[in-house]
Amino acid sequence: MAGRNFLFVPGPTNIPDRIIRAMAVPSEDHRSPIFGQLTLPLFEQVKEVFRTKAGQAFLFPATGTGGWEAALSNTLSPGDKVVCSRYGQFSHLWIDLAQRLGLDVVVLEEEWGTGTHAEHIEKLLVEDKAHKIKGIMVVQNETATGVTSDVASVRKVLDQAKHPALLYVDGVSSIGSIDFRMDEWGVDVAVAGSQKGFMMPAGMAIVCASQKALEAGKTAKLPRIFFDFGDQAKANATGYFPYTPSLPLLYGLKESLAIIFEEGLDNIYQRHHYLASGVRAAVAAWGLKLCAKAPRWYSDTVSTIVTPEGISGADVISRAYQRYNLSLGAGLSQVAGKVFRIGHLGDLNELMVLGALSGTEMAMRDVGIKIEPGSGVAAAAEHFRGSNSAK
């Protein structure tokens, strides 16, 4: 098919040409005397994206899932009690991982389309006088349902209850795209992956740990080998790794960080909000509903759109791909078939979003969804004309 595929899944995201070029490198000795010149600045710059000065950054050859495992296995012991709210496929998978590591997970079931309710966590913290709860896990942006949760509100209830539990945040589809402040929100371990806001191929888990988390690691007894923070920290101190790092991904990260700082984090958050608002204007004009139940949950990186009764989201996705070379995100688990997703994160601008909305509109009409032709595109275009992006 001529022309580019329109990649509008919420990860992996479009890779800027600059990053693709930066990754085309020959292999070099990862123990050379000058290797640290490449790697040492990366650890510092990654911390800026997480907005942490006090924390420590780790770069693992892995994906977000590996980051989840690193976060928990480095800081907890078998049988430790942790709390996690479940409201989509990603929170579900992180809970599953925690259970399989041997943790005692208290699961708070929340309606899909909502997120972490700090008041539900608060109740558990207040009752837990003996401080049996060792960690609270929050998926900041639930990519399955297009829901963003308020991490600061969780820090607030931890502080009010004077509870020492560690705060774990999955920021895989939010860090670098949606406001995230590790130090200010007192996050102890935060997890990101290379293929979302960092605009790279999958293959690198990017994790930051607070000093409190590193301290907890000294007595934590869950086994970890490949993901051991201690082994990493020792080698990373001089710019090396305990095993062979992926050189192309390190060069890709260097370029990704350059691109991120050229635009500026605040401008990036604003651009994501502005593009997402255009998508939401289109959904409203189509007369369709988001899976997210209320504006407080709206995600600026992914919109999960509910298809009308009797029409499968999978048909929209299949038609969009086969006829218009447009990749939309599938409905996962509980919402499979009932929704489709438009990912709008990473290296995107207005016209790219309008192209995706146009393809979505055509595919929806092709499978029998009764929407006014051009209505969503027009609503988004007028939104974009009427407001300025960051710059």
Is residue 202 close enough to count as binding ligand PLP by CB under 6 A? yes
Nearer to ligand PLP, 55 or 197 (CB): 197
Query: What is the number of other CB atoms lying within 10 angstroms of the CB of residue 372?
Result: 12
Footprint on residues 7-26 left by ligand PLP (CB under 6 A): 11
Minimum distance from residue 37 beta carbon to ligand PLP (Å)? 28
Round to whole Å and give the CA distance between 338 and 305. 8
Residue the block writes with tokens 């990704």: 256
Q: Closest residue (Cβ) to ligand PLP?
A: 64
CA gyration radius, the chain? 21
Nearer to ligand PLP, 90 or 269 (CB): 90
Nearer to ligand PLP, 285 or 335 (CB): 335
Q: Which of 13, 73, 145, 173 binds ligand PLP (CB under 6 A)?
A: 173
Round to whole Å and give the CA distance between 62 and 340. 27
Is residue 143 close enough to count as binding ligand PLP by CB under 6 A? yes
Minimum distance from residue 323 beta carbon to ligand PLP (Å)? 27
Nearer to ligand PLP, 124 or 172 (CB): 172
Minimum distance from residue 139 beta carbon to ligand PLP (Å)? 5
Q: What distances in angstroms separate CA 203 from CA 13, 18, 44, 60, 241, one per listed residue?
A: 13, 18, 20, 8, 16
Q: Which of 42, 50, 64, 344 binds ligand PLP (CB under 6 A)?
A: 64
Minimum distance from residue 193 beta carbon to ligand PLP (Å)? 4
Q: Which of 57, 97, 125, 139 binds ligand PLP (CB under 6 A)?
A: 139
Q: Which of 69, 80, 170, 255 binds ligand PLP (CB under 6 A)?
A: 170
Stretch that binds ligand PLP, among 97-105, 136-144, 175-183, 226-234 (CB under 6 A): 136-144
Q: Is 277 exposed, middle or buried (0-12, 13-18, 19+ CB in 10 A)?
A: middle
| Contact residues for ligand PLP, defined by CB under 6 A | 11, 63-65, 90, 139, 141, 143, 170, 172-173, 193, 202
